[in-house]
A = this chain, B = another copy of it.
Amino acid sequence: MDKYNKVIKELIQFRNERDWEQFHDSKNLALAISIEASELNELFLWKKGDEVENVNPDKLKEELADVLAYAFLLAEKHNLDIFDIVSEKIKNNALKYPVEKAKGTAKKYNEL
């Protein structure tokens, strides 16, 4: 079994042992992703310059892990392969952000 399927199995087991599937509808899983993403952002709040890349690495690891854990559970619920959907999105974004227009600018595609 590859590492992704191994960790999905661990997440499902953790959830089922606690009888938490009842809470894990897609709306609450999406909300959990957002809340964990905010906790990740809180590490960077008010920080600038060098401070940004020097946040506590253990906390960064934990908050990013929380985001990923709920994202994996939502993907699993909808039978989505996390690698395939990112790969597909990169292809779509390549059309929205052609290199010749998007190079070196952070503008949104509708402003290019």
Residues on A facing B (Cβ under 8 Å): 2-4, 6-7, 10-11, 14, 17-20, 22-23, 25-28, 30-35, 37-47, 52-53, 55, 57, 60-62, 64-69, 71-72, 74-75, 78, 80-83, 85-90, 92-94, 97, 99, 102-104, 106
Contact = CB atoms under 8 A, between A and B. Distances in A.
Taken together, the copies of this chain in the complex come to 4
A3 B83 contact: yes
B28 A83 contact: no
Contacts of A75: 64, 68
A24 B46 CA distance: 7
A78 B57 contact: yes
Contact of A90 (B69, B86, B103): B69
B62 A18 contact: no
A109 to B, nearest CB: 12
